[in-house]
A and B are shown apart, each in its own frame.
Chain A
């Protein structure tokens, strides 16, 4: 299988390691400079960069067969519809879903969660019913449920985490009752890196018949996801976290659940027949895709999935885990540096604080070394509150990052400390 180009990185236990230098050539943006320094992009948990395969697939759509989908009999519309539906099949295969009828295109994870909150859960909720989430959720898996609780009188319950940033599964089990109507859990935490035992959460919920929604935004670029093996009921993803474009994502839901859900937004595409006396709705999944969809985005998502499959998620993961270990080891040696989130199983994310240096200032100084990292609350303010910090700085790795880039980052860290601490 090996390629002719030199192998720059040896993956752990992976037969055919990732050729990172060749991989980097597929990302045009990595060739640019920032403040006169080569770009070191360590903000991958916010959004990753796109490979040529994705950029060109979207470009090709606009150049050659731009047309609306499911509307026209003309050739361009047929080609656009085929490419759009091919992407749905790509998402199905990627998640190992049983049927492409279970894949609804959304604007991203946030809209997918809102769709489930509004269409699935709201009609089923009574005052006093409970929604159970975890303390490490991202705002997208908190706020839609809070809004739903305000409308229905239901109560939001929060399962605790420990000081390492791991979900306390036993405590979560005790919080499940006959009032629990849905469990929401993040697969991989964007703020802490924690990989949650989603299959175990589903096993807790299953005997009670409680559906489990998994926020997979941060997991899909790093983990092979099999929704049937996980045993969950809803799985949400965002294309831009997995090398695809912004503004598109997907909801996977079990077919029986989707069939039973009323439409959420009204418009074209989601209808079968419209008259002023009444309207009949389209079949799933189109019932949930009102209006002209993000066609180029869906095509980009499909291209991203095929690119991930060709590159090999396991190979990419092995490389990212080596970067995570190397960076963690080196950062642990720095006086005054605290890593927030030290779970046994982590995605390639390191949140940290540095004594005497506010993350905001750190971000600005390190930017001048060409290093892009995220500072702030990472859209997970309750996590910051749990650890008693106003904000953290965060580095997050993708398959194209290099060991040498970690040294550039550490140099910037040292300068920030000298200037401010």
Chain B
């Protein structure tokens, strides 16, 4: 059933033990991502040098989908440029909206979050960390 796809093991695992969770000392960029409707409130902190993300951390409180999405994204970010993040974020948005598209190899494990596309009310949760990272990259810490 779709619910098992949404709360599949890998997503639950990222929710229980989020990677790169906590504050980042020496962050150069940061942004807060809030969803007033459901109460998600995360802080993304990045250390960027020579145009690429060296380290990424997130903190705050959020639902399982936002937490898992943020956790996977923080892992994925290492070594990426701002342009690459924006392109992948746009691709992720498209994949959430169209189940017939093939997985994007660039996104790796993040493709498993495409199950969220079957739950239109929850797509905003999957996307919030991406929007927050894009915001962080365009503003200084």
Contact = CB atoms under 8 A, between A and B. Distances in A.
Contacts of A360: 38-40, 63-65, 122, 125
Interface in A346-387: 358-361, 364-365, 368, 375-377, 381, 384
A360 B123 CA distance: 12
Contacts of B12: 419-420
A358 B62 contact: yes
A391 interface: yes
Interface string B37-48: 111110000000
Contacts of B64: 358, 360-361, 420
A375 B6 CA distance: 18
Contacts of B38: 359-360, 375-376, 391
A390 B40 contact: yes
Interface size class of A (residues with CB under 8 A): 10 to 19
B61 interface: yes
Interface in B48-66: 61-65
Contact of A376 (B7, B37, B119): B37
Interface core residue of A359, A364, A376 (most chain B CB under 10 Å): A364
B1 interface: yes
Contacts of A389: 39
B36 A361 contact: no
B3 interface: yes
B41 A420 contact: no
A376 B1 CA distance: 25
Nearest to A361: B64
B67 to A, nearest CB: 8
B121 to A, nearest CB: 8
A364 B6 CA distance: 10
A90 B118 CA distance: 45
Contacts of B62: 358
B15 interface: yes
A360 B3 CA distance: 13
Contacts of B1: 368
Given A364-B122, A390-B61, A420 B15 contact: yes
Nearest to A384: B39
A381 B36 CA distance: 8
Contacts of A358: 61-64, 67
B88 to A, nearest CB: 24
Interface in A227-275: none
**Which residue, of B37, B40, B63, B125, has the highest number of chain A Cβ atoms within 10 A?**
B63
A376 B125 CA distance: 13
Contacts of A361: 7, 63-65
B3 A364 contact: yes
B15 A376 contact: no
A359 B6 CA distance: 15
A420 B13 CA distance: 9
A402 B36 CA distance: 32
A124 to B, nearest CB: 32
A340 B42 CA distance: 23
Residue from A358, A365, A420 whose CB has the most chain B CB atoms within 10 Å: A358
Contacts of B40: 360, 390
Interface in A396-421: 419-420
Given A364-B119, A420-B12, A359 B39 contact: yes
Contacts of B3: 364-365, 368
Nearest to A381: B36
A377 B40 CA distance: 10
23 contacts: A358-B62, A358-B63, A359-B38, A359-B39, A360-B39, A360-B40, A361-B63, A361-B64, A364-B6, A365-B7, A368-B1, A368-B3, A375-B38, A377-B36, A381-B36, A389-B39, A390-B39, A390-B40, A390-B61, A419-B7, A420-B7, A420-B12, A420-B15
Interface of B: 1-3, 6-7, 12, 15, 36-41, 61-65, 67, 119, 121-122, 125
Please provide the 4 A-B residue pairs with the shortest distance between their CB atoms, ordered closest to farther: A391-B39, A390-B39, A358-B63, A360-B63
Given A360-B125, A420-B15, 13 more contacts: A358-B61, A358-B67, A360-B39, A360-B63, A360-B122, A364-B3, A364-B119, A364-B121, A364-B122, A365-B3, A368-B1, A376-B39, A390-B39
